[in-house]
Structure 1
Amino acid sequence: MRELIELVRFPFMDKMYFMEKVQTDKTLCKCCPDIVTETLRNHVFPGEVQSPRTRPRRASGLREAVVVIGGHESPSISSYTIMMTYSSTPSNASCVPVTTMRADNGHGFAVAVFGISDIILSIGGPSGNVWLYQAGLDSWSELAGMNTARDYHQVAVLQGKAYAIGGRISYSPLHITAGVEVYGRSLNKWAESVPLPQPRYRHATAVLDGSIYVIGGRDAENNPTSTVYRFNPGNSLWYAPSNMPERTSHVATAVLNGSIYVAGLHSKVLCYMPHEDVWACVAITGSGFRCSMTVFGGEIYIYGGNYDNKGISEVLWLNQQDKSLKQVGSMPKGLFGHGCVTILKG
């Protein structure tokens, strides 16, 4: 039994899944308690901030990579390219195309990291198709489609499950849903979950401390909102933390050091601290509308955005000491409405 367990890469699991399924398993804890304890104490799980001590070493064959997915160069020109870079100062040379999207259209899709290097892509539009890109194999596989097709929704991964949250069902007449579906990879099936307190689309999501946060977005009347909802899968309830300081939609989020950062506002970057239930301004300069945001090397980076109906190529680094955004690189082309995630890859 022990020899078999030593072959399992527990740090690649979602931390909450590890704690609920592995740490509580009496057989595992009895035969190899040191492995379970050492994993929880010393390893970095997907979605956690990696310190210099625990960040994957090159010798392990894994390192962080930023993946930029789809988007628009202009309102009439969509991009279906998926690019990858290992650099904190990306350039035309370091941003390498790796594949193209499996998409019916270039808008309204949602992406999230599934595990450590797989990316789940929920296609926007009437098809409801969902794809999984395995970066380690550079291959695509089609997953079960959602029960309710939607666009401008979000996908969040928690405890080994993917949640499709909110979205737009139809454009004319406008129909926005509060519906939430949850996907289990083992069964390859979507099931209805607890709906949002109110319908939302063009919102943002973040996963932190075993909860899913839904931030901003537009309501059923197409008005921007400032609401924040938090979902606890333990008791299947939605809670209402403090609202954002302003109403907005199409913002981007990233999680770092126990806080949620929000970009895509005109003149600032915001930070929500759940333990204090407080919002703060951490940068007094803004980023492009419909930008994307990720954590790389323990720092926050903002990719692209919309300026005057054109995609911008700048990659910005959040300097929290002087509350500014500094350009540190650029993408090969200007993009907005794209996805951006960080994975671990060999």
Structure 2
Amino acid sequence: MEVDGFLRGLRELQATGTLCDVVLYGSDADEGSALANGIPCHRGVLSVHSAYFRAVFTHDWKDSRDPVFQLHNVDTATMNALVQYAYSMEIGLNADNVASLVVAAEFLQMDRVAGKCWAYVQQHFLRSIFLLVEVLASDDVAVFSEDQVLQALLRWLDHDRDRRLAQLHTVLQVVRVPFLSEPAAMEYALALASAPAPSECQSGMVGRITLAGGTARHATPRDSYGARDVILCIGGHFDGDLDEVGVSDTVEVFCPSMPSVWRLPALPGFVNGCQAVMLDASGMLVAGHSGVNRLQRDRHYLGLRDEWEALAVMRMPRCNAGLAVLQGRVYAAGGCSRADRLEVLASVEVYDAQKDSWSTAAPLPVALEGMGMVAWGERLFVFGGKDEEEGIVPWAFSYDPQANAWTRLPDMPTPRYGCAVCVAPSGLVFVFGT
């Protein structure tokens, strides 16, 4: 009874603004709005319940003395509920407010409130599912396409289908359906049809997370779609002699900013000595050979659906060729007509993605293989390589597509073979390799 009287006295002081020494404002409060009046409080009461406020108010910071304090990541309604708990030790939890309350309570280090929120979650909605939804609802989740989000949820379901099926309808709300490929949209529809209807609590909690930014969020792509800088390792030779057994069909992706490594769908065939270029934001073209005596003539394209498709074959099989994209067209220059380097080529072919066809362009001034090639500005540049008579060379050439002609450039200081070429933002061209 004495505790009840003490708390009642605190509430009266707070309600009347008596002895209050700070006014709290939420992230949605701005001058001139109805919320701008703020919430009068006592620093001592807030410090008892929140380690965050205790640290702010007991250190020699400007904020510790300011009579007005605004939290930029807690809205006014949520903050008001937390303040009322501080003065009454009571908080009303429901599906509409528990998601925002647990986030704010953990930020403010109000451990008792956070514990009550998680207990509510455990009772009405499994904590692991809540966290899964929170992660996959984010704009920043690292995926190349929305199909990967759906596949992650379906793998999660398959891990314990009997227990998790009841939650499937709820977690599927995080999928941004407009950005699914057609096959994935069919998978989504089938999964949704097999899922039991969620409880009101489950729907409310997920809705609070997924629609925190407004209903338009599901109509916008995630920030991470195809936007992360990654390194791809495609095919290649491993262990043993260079034959079908020792050539890989795997495609591995390394993301330095995460960092993590994962695999894309395997190539339709084994590929070694391959070259790859990005056609546009939707996919890449990969070319290579599959063994000593048989050159892989099919070229493959990777689209947003993470699927490989065979494209039109080149007119001349080639490996160790130069490959680059200029003005939306793929140029394949030089290379060997067979993997055992029976014939070195000077011919150049051009791929038109709109027509899915190859045509010819002016040949290189000399037959070369293993050279580096890059597009810069309105020209192609070729560096180094191996000539049948001269061996490894320091030669450099540029190609003008308007004139359909090659021009000899000054030689590099060092002959190079199997070299990589890149253009820095400054416009400098760097050539690396043997």
- Tell me what 2:386 maps to: 218
- Please list, as runs of the form range in 1=range in 2, the aligned pairs for 1:2-17 lying within 5 A after superposition: none
- Please list, as runs of the form range in 1=range in 2, the aligned pairs for 1:234-245 lying within 5 A after superposition: 234-245=402-413
- The AA in structure 2 aligned to 1:236 is N
Structure 2 contact 396–412 (Cα < 8 Å) conserved: yes
Query: Residues 99 and 172 from structure 1, CA distance in 2 versus in 1: closer, same or farther, beyond 3 angstroms?
Result: closer
- Tell me what 1:28 maps to: none
Query: Take 1:88 and 1:60, find their aligned partners in 2: how far apart are those partners?
Result: 12
Query: Take 1:223 and 1:205, find their aligned partners in 2: how far apart are those partners?
Result: 18
The question of 1:59 aligning with 2:223 is answered yes
Query: Take 2:339 and 2:255, find their aligned partners in 1: how far apart are those partners?
Result: 38
Q: Alignment partner of 2:252: what SS?
A: strand
The question of 1:132 aligning with 2:301 is answered yes
- The AA in structure 1 aligned to 2:348 is V
The question of 1:158 aligning with 2:326 is answered yes
Query: Residues 89 and 262 from structure 1, CA distance in 2 versus in 1: closer, same or farther, beyond 3 angstroms?
Result: farther
- Tell me what 2:349 maps to: 181
2:234 corresponds, among 69, 73, 79, to: 69
- Tell me what 2:287 maps to: 122
TM-score normalised to structure 1 length = 0.54
1:98 corresponds, among 264, 268, 280, to: 264
Structure 1 contact 111–154 (Cα < 8 Å) conserved: no
Structure 1 contact 201–218 (Cα < 8 Å) conserved: yes
Structure 1 contact 66–85 (Cα < 8 Å) conserved: yes
Deviation at 1:137, TM superposition (A): 0.9
Query: Take 1:171 and 1:132, find their aligned partners in 2: how far apart are those partners?
Result: 22
Deviation at 1:231, TM superposition (A): 0.6
Q: Which runs of structure 1 show a deviation greater than 6 angstroms over 4 or more consecutive aligned residues?
A: none
Structure 2 contact 350–360 (Cα < 8 Å) conserved: yes
2:317 corresponds, among 135, 149, 172, to: 149
- Please list, as runs of the form range in 1=range in 2, the aligned pairs for 1:169-208 lying within 5 A after superposition: 169-170=337-338, 174-208=342-376
Query: Residues 242 and 122 from structure 1, CA distance in 2 versus in 1: closer, same or farther, beyond 3 angstroms?
Result: same
The question of 1:107 aligning with 2:265 is answered no
Query: Take 2:255 and 2:283, find their aligned partners in 1: how far apart are those partners?
Result: 16
- Tell me what 2:108 maps to: none
Query: Take 2:324 and 2:341, find their aligned partners in 1: how far apart are those partners?
Result: 27
Structure 2 contact 234–274 (Cα < 8 Å) conserved: no
Identity of aligned residues (%): 25
Tell me which of the two structures has the higher relative contact order, counting C-alpha pairs closer than 8 angstroms and 6 or more residues apart: 1
Residue segments in structure 1 that go unaligned for 5+ positions in a row: 1-56, 266-346
Query: Take 1:173 and 1:252, find their aligned partners in 2: how far apart are those partners?
Result: 20
| Cα-to-partner distance string for 1:93-142 (whole Å, 9 max, x where unaligned) | x1111122233x432322111112411012325342111111x2101111
The question of 1:209 aligning with 2:377 is answered yes
Query: Take 1:168 and 1:263, find their aligned partners in 2: how far apart are those partners?
Result: 21
Query: Residues 172 and 264 from structure 1, CA distance in 2 versus in 1: closer, same or farther, beyond 3 angstroms?
Result: closer
Query: Take 1:74 and 1:217, find their aligned partners in 2: how far apart are those partners?
Result: 26
Structure 1 contact 206–214 (Cα < 8 Å) conserved: yes
- Tell me what 1:299 maps to: none
Query: Residues 83 and 244 from structure 1, CA distance in 2 versus in 1: closer, same or farther, beyond 3 angstroms?
Result: same
Stretch deviating more after TM superposition (80-89 or 200-209): 80-89
Structure 1 contact 204–216 (Cα < 8 Å) conserved: yes
Residue segments in structure 2 that go unaligned for 5+ positions in a row: 1-220
Query: Residues 59 and 262 from structure 1, CA distance in 2 versus in 1: closer, same or farther, beyond 3 angstroms?
Result: same
Query: Take 1:240 and 1:181, find their aligned partners in 2: how far apart are those partners?
Result: 19
Structure with higher Rg: it is: 2
RMSD over aligned Cα atoms: 2.3
**Larger strand fraction of residues:** 1
